[in-house]
Structure 1
Amino acid sequence: MNSADWFLLGAPWDCSGSGRGEQAAPAALRAAGLSGLVHTDLGDAACAIDSHERDARTGVLALPETVRAAHALADELEGALRNQAGRRPLVVGGDCSLLLGIVPALRRSHGPMGLWFLDGHPDYSDGPGSETGETADMELAVLTGDGADPLVALAGAVPMIPADAVVLLGHRSSGLDAAARRELERVPAAMHRCDAAAVAADPAAAGRRAAALPAEPGLRMWLHLDVDVLDGEVLPAVSYAQPGGLDWDQLAAVMAPLARSERLLGASVADFRPDLDPTGAHAARLLELLERVLP
């Protein structure tokens, strides 16, 4: 990783409002040495969420607080993109719904964009269909225009990202319970997909295919990593660990062509739980991955 090419922004965003652990990830990864991998560490955006109230109409947990957090993160990132011109952002969360702040900033700064989305789950639920109402169950749906009005409109234009400009990688598609099957069935047919089994079979080839998608020339892409794309035995320090995921080498191999693409706008990392990593060994392993993969 070339430190001169990157700046760091922390997003201590926990959409559950419970303080269960993700919000401490930026601090824990800095303690493990993350700041030393980038040119500039801009600290944390003011995007913490502490509400436990579920909106009666939409079913979304902490809806007003999430909208506030998304605007705060978007404003912070947009300013950073101006002030750090020529460098790519590395945004470290927090949970996956931090994308609700990242994407509006990128849309304002760069215009239309696409998304490489590495995640153990498709994150395509909705408020009524989610057991918890957490926006981390539904942020990909929101980004592609399917969700509560205050969320889908965060960037103005709807959708923020068209479904055919998203590449979903590493999600589990077998051995699912009924709720997870329903969520996967909601994913639009236009969205490009490569599930965990297909990635694991040849991760480098999967990464090369994903790097060529979507085929629209010149479309800039954001790389998002939810670390629960890893197998739960490889990385148990996440909120919703699952079997059937990738190992560290497979993850590095699928990420490498994406991270080295000329289309890359930047990257985000989400769902690491330092409270489930008492020795710091998993934080150190995650830093090794970023140093190995990011250009």
Structure 2
Amino acid sequence: MTAPGWYLVGAPWDCSALGRGERLAPAALRAAGLSDLVPDDAGDAPIVIDDARRDEATGVRALRQTARAARVLADGLDDAARRRPGGRPLVVGGDCSLLLGVLPWLRRSRSRVGLWFVDGHPDFLDGASSPTGETADLDLALLTGAGPEQLTAPAGVTAPLVAPDDVVLVGHRTRDLDPEAAAEVARLPDSIRRFDAPAVVDAPRRCGERAAAMLADIDGGVWLHVDCDVLDPADLPAVSYPEPGGPTPGQLADLLAPLFASPRLLGVSIADFRPDLDPDGRHAATLVALLRRLLSDPVDNPIS
């Protein structure tokens, strides 16, 4: 079975600049069957982030290289889309920072886009409050306009890349948090709508349907981003920052199904899978099975 209308783009992005395992995910997921599911493959963007120094002024790790990587990915998505008019990209990371390339690419041709952000964390720190300075701690803040201009307002695109009230945050943990994690949740703007992990576990399809309805009026379309750490680590521990209390793969599929079926869907990104923590490949197989289920009923709503 293949997924017509979709094409694959690899984003081997490691914002830690330490050669961590996320960068191996595109190749591992292809080998686990993703290439059979999405055989139209645009290859990997040539992303290089290997300078782990933190910028003195902002506290952001690998700031200049990250800004360059964002341009490289945006240009690669531009090229892939030109060759596949009407198709939808499935972008496989890498970590969540890949959105710093995806959203500028979308905004090159659209004045307004929405974002379904499915993640076990809010990703709303800043360079000073993040213990590592990694942009995977900051990406939602950066996308909504908070942070250094090199990342919040790339050349030719005005900030914010996505307005806070055009974001729906789904699956983040809100129970039994340590003080630092609780403070991060408290940083979120009130205008970002959200369904936390307990709500998702309790009623995944209803959360998905409501999230789809919340952004149904955005004519420019909506991007869906899924960080694998939204899943409970009992089911998928092969991520950098696992958090208990998340949905099972079946619950996640029920959550995502209404978003995949939305006529507003522009494309999907998958982030934070660590093949180096999956020696027998069973977690890669879980993710490919999830995508096979979600892509098995193609939606005839090509990107305009």
TM-score (norm 2): 0.95
User: 1:198 maps to which residue?
Assistant: 199
| Structure 1: 5+ residue stretches without partners | none
How far residue 48 of structure 1 moved from its aligned partner, in angstroms, is 2.8
How far residue 214 of structure 1 moved from its aligned partner, in angstroms, is 2.5
* Aligned partner letter, 1:159: P
How far residue 142 of structure 1 moved from its aligned partner, in angstroms, is 0.3
| Structure 2: 5+ residue stretches without partners | 299-304
Give runs of aligned pairs for residues 198-277 of structure 1, distance below 5 A.
198-277=199-278
* Aligned partner letter, 2:219: G
Relative to structure 2, which stretch is displaced further, 79-88 or 192-201?
79-88
Kept after mapping to 2: 8 A contact 1:4/1:39: no
Identical positions, percent = 58
How far residue 219 of structure 1 moved from its aligned partner, in angstroms, is 4.1
Deviations 1:14-58 (A, max 9, x none): 000111200000010111121111241111001131111000100
Question: What SS does the corresponding residue of 2:52 show, helix, strand or coil?
Answer: coil
Give runs of aligned pairs for residues 135-154 of structure 1, distance below 5 A.
135-154=135-154
Give runs of aligned pairs for residues 106-121 of structure 1, distance below 5 A.
106-121=106-121
Instruction: Give the Cα separation in 2 of the matches to 1:103 and 1:86.
Output: 18
* Aligned partner letter, 1:11: A
Kept after mapping to 2: 8 A contact 1:81/1:109: no
User: 1:15 maps to which residue?
Assistant: 15
User: 2:24 maps to which residue?
Assistant: 24
User: 2:302 maps to which residue?
Assistant: none
Question: What SS does the corresponding residue of 2:108 show, helix, strand or coil?
Answer: helix
Sort the Cα spacing of 1:135 and 1:23 in 2 relative to 1 into closer, same or farther, 3 A: same
User: 2:123 maps to which residue?
Assistant: 123
Relative to structure 2, which stretch is displaced further, 149-158 or 222-231?
149-158
How far residue 217 of structure 1 moved from its aligned partner, in angstroms, is 4.8
How far residue 110 of structure 1 moved from its aligned partner, in angstroms, is 3.5
How far residue 218 of structure 1 moved from its aligned partner, in angstroms, is 2.6
Give runs of aligned pairs for residues 85-124 of structure 1, distance below 5 A.
85-124=85-124
TM-score (norm 1): 0.98
How far residue 234 of structure 1 moved from its aligned partner, in angstroms, is 1.0
Sort the Cα spacing of 1:275 and 1:200 in 2 relative to 1 into closer, same or farther, 3 A: same
Relative to structure 2, which stretch is displaced further, 145-154 or 10-19?
145-154
Instruction: Give the Cα separation in 1 of the matches to 2:48 and 2:252.
Output: 29
Kept after mapping to 2: 8 A contact 1:5/1:39: no
Question: What SS does the corresponding residue of 2:130 show, helix, strand or coil?
Answer: coil
Sort the Cα spacing of 1:217 and 1:31 in 2 relative to 1 into closer, same or farther, 3 A: closer
Question: What SS does the corresponding residue of 1:224 show, helix, strand or coil?
Answer: strand
Kept after mapping to 1: 8 A contact 2:215/2:222: no
Question: What SS does the corresponding residue of 2:254 show, helix, strand or coil?
Answer: helix
User: 1:187 maps to which residue?
Assistant: 188
Question: What SS does the corresponding residue of 2:214 show, helix, strand or coil?
Answer: coil
User: 2:301 maps to which residue?
Assistant: none
Relative to structure 2, which stretch is displaced further, 234-243 or 39-48?
39-48
Kept after mapping to 2: 8 A contact 1:127/1:148: no
Question: What SS does the corresponding residue of 2:234 show, helix, strand or coil?
Answer: coil
Kept after mapping to 1: 8 A contact 2:230/2:247: yes
Which ranges of 4 or more aligned residues in structure 1 deviate by more than 4 Å? none
* Aligned partner letter, 1:83: R
Question: What SS does the corresponding residue of 2:99 show, helix, strand or coil?
Answer: helix
Kept after mapping to 1: 8 A contact 2:13/2:95: yes
User: 1:288 maps to which residue?
Assistant: 289
Instruction: Give the Cα separation in 2 of the matches to 1:289 and 1:39.
Output: 17
Instruction: Give the Cα separation in 1 of the matches to 2:285 and 2:162.
Output: 33
* Aligned partner letter, 1:202: A
How far residue 112 of structure 1 moved from its aligned partner, in angstroms, is 1.4
How far residue 4 of structure 1 moved from its aligned partner, in angstroms, is 2.0
Instruction: Give the Cα separation in 1 of the matches to 2:276 and 2:2.
Output: 29
Deviations 1:179-233 (A, max 9, x none): 1111111110001100000011110101000010135353410000001000111
Instruction: Give the Cα separation in 2 of the matches to 1:144 and 1:137.
Output: 14
* Aligned partner letter, 2:257: A
* Aligned partner letter, 1:227: C
